[in-house]
Amino acid sequence: MRVFYYFLKALSSLVVPIHKSFIYFRFIGVNSFSKINQSQRINLDIPSLKKQLPESAIGFYDSYKSPLLKIFSCQKTRVSLLGVVSSKGLVLPYNLPIENLAQSIILISAYKKMIFQRSSHEFKAGSYVLFFNPFSYSNIAHWLTEALVRIWLCKDILETNDQFLIPRSNMTEFAIDSIRALGFKNDCIIHDSSRAIFQKMKVINSNGRQTEFDPCLLEIRKIILAKTNNSTSLSKKSYVLYVKRHQNSKRIIVNEEEMIDFLKSQFEVKVIEPSQMSFSQQVFEFNRAACVISMHGAALSNMIWMREGTHVVELYKDLRCYDGNIYGPPNSPSSWYSRLSALMNLNYHLFQCNPPIYHSKMAVSPLIVDCAKLNNLVERIFVGN
């Protein structure tokens, strides 16, 4: 498996620069693109990580550049749910440049699909907008922090007759509801076929890594909370929201019931399963909680609806047995939720847990929570308030 990993990495290091050059020359005189916003340096303060990570790793988490956004205007375009646009032999990925192996694999797969795909038959007249990426059409975290951000930042350029392409997935309704909550009234077209040819296509494109967020998320939070009337207040007791993973998830808490009972013995606790809730319900529940506890996962991105100064506890695999993955640096947790918490002015707590022995070397594994230690952390959070 490791040999295969390094083979793909070497292949992507060859494919990516060639593809970038191909895009540059292919767009000259054929299609056009324009910059929407300039990338800016984001400096974050995440005190909790300074106590748990080596000094050499801190720099990776507390500073980054926000994504540079562009709109590509393409004619007679096919769209693939792999996350590419194909036009006259061009494959355009949703994030440029490609920053990691996962995106490289998607790019290679996209070319393969385009080469062996049968000719498209259905022509769709009109102007369309493409803003989702290979991950966001079926993942709440990528949808909220990437797709929704792209629409919002381009609001002054989009026209009323532009139709938004929405991929058919298990979160199609969630996606449309979030667009409506931002105030957009454009028609949303459900897209589930790569055989159609669209007359005009605006592709909202970003060159940022997946853990580099645009500060406009603060504005998006303000707008959506105002439109959904989420003027909530804390309950009289210390209110803890526990986010339960869906049944088919590989990331589970082995002693979850024990952990919940332990928390309930001292705090007011509400347990939710976001996969069973609408967009507005998720906004409401996260907005009213003083402390959210969740295992690492997409649903935790709903923290953007939390009020400033509230607390996020992310249950994560113990760093001493962390096996790394293709999305981030080895021997460290994902920077996704620590950065997002800091950007949204929340208090972030990384709570390390041990996996079962037989899962210790797996990148994705169940976890065992130290209930007493977690209770002590939550108690310190509320005493501090």
State pLDDT tens for residues 275-330: 899 999 999 999 999 999 999 989 999 999 999 999 999 998 877 665 444 334 44
Q: Are 270 and 241 in contact (CB under 8 A)?
A: yes
Using CA atoms in the order 38, 76, 143, 152, what is the torsion angle rounded to 10 degrees? 50
- Using pLDDT thresholds of 50, 70 and 90, give the confidence band for residue 83: low
pLDDT of residue 137: 76
Residue 95 DSSP one-character state = B
> In terms of Cα–Cα distance, which of 289, 179, 284 is closest to 229?
284
Tokens of 157: 């350029």
Q: Mean pLDDT in the chain?
A: 82
Q: Are 292 and 243 in contact (CB under 8 A)?
A: yes
CB-based contacts of 47, cutoff 8 Å, min separation 6: none
Distance CA 277, CA 313 (A): 21
- Using pLDDT thresholds of 50, 70 and 90, give the confidence band for residue 96: very low
pLDDT of residue 9: 66
pLDDT of residue 323: 47
pLDDT of residue 51: 82
pLDDT of residue 203: 86
Helices 101-116, 2-27: inter-axial angle, 10-degree rounding: 70
Question: Helix H segments across 232-354?
Answer: 256-264, 279-288, 336-343
Count CA within 13 A, CB hemisphere, residue 245.
20
pLDDT of residue 73: 83
- Helix, strand or coil, per DSSP, at residue 53: coil
- Using pLDDT thresholds of 50, 70 and 90, give the confidence band for residue 370: very high
Q: Taking residues 97-122, what's their average pLDDT?
A: 65
Tokens of 202: 């605006």
For each of the domains in the chain, give its residue range(s) and CATH number, in order of start: 2-30+69-204 (no CATH), 224-384 (3.40.50.720)
How far lies 134's CA from each of 92, 115, 229, 295, 378, in Å? Answer: 12, 19, 32, 23, 36
Q: Judge whether residue 90 has pLDDT over 70.
A: no
339 vs 28 pLDDT, higher one:
339
pLDDT of residue 254: 92
- Using pLDDT thresholds of 50, 70 and 90, give the confidence band for residue 102: low
State pLDDT tens for residues 182-241: 999 999 999 887 778 899 988 888 777 778 899 999 999 999 999 876 554 444 455 899
pLDDT of residue 345: 96
Q: Judge whether residue 113 has pLDDT over 70.
A: no
For the whole model, what pTM was predicted? Answer: 0.85
Distance CA 62, CA 45 (A): 6
> In terms of Cα–Cα distance, which of 135, 69, 142 is closest to 304?
142
Q: Under the phi-then-psi rule, with left for phi > 0, alpha for psi from -120 to 50, and beta for the rest, what region is 137?
A: alpha
Count CA within 13 A, CB hemisphere, residue 356.
11
Length of the chain counted residue by residue: 385
8 vs 198 pLDDT, higher one:
198
pLDDT of residue 279: 95
State pLDDT tens for residues 15-25: 667 766 766 66
Q: Judge whether residue 253 has pLDDT over 70.
A: yes
pLDDT of residue 270: 95
pLDDT of residue 369: 95
State pLDDT tens for residues 347-364: 999 998 988 877 656 667
- Using pLDDT thresholds of 50, 70 and 90, give the confidence band for residue 263: very high
Distance CA 208, CA 133 (A): 12
- Using pLDDT thresholds of 50, 70 and 90, give the confidence band for residue 28: low
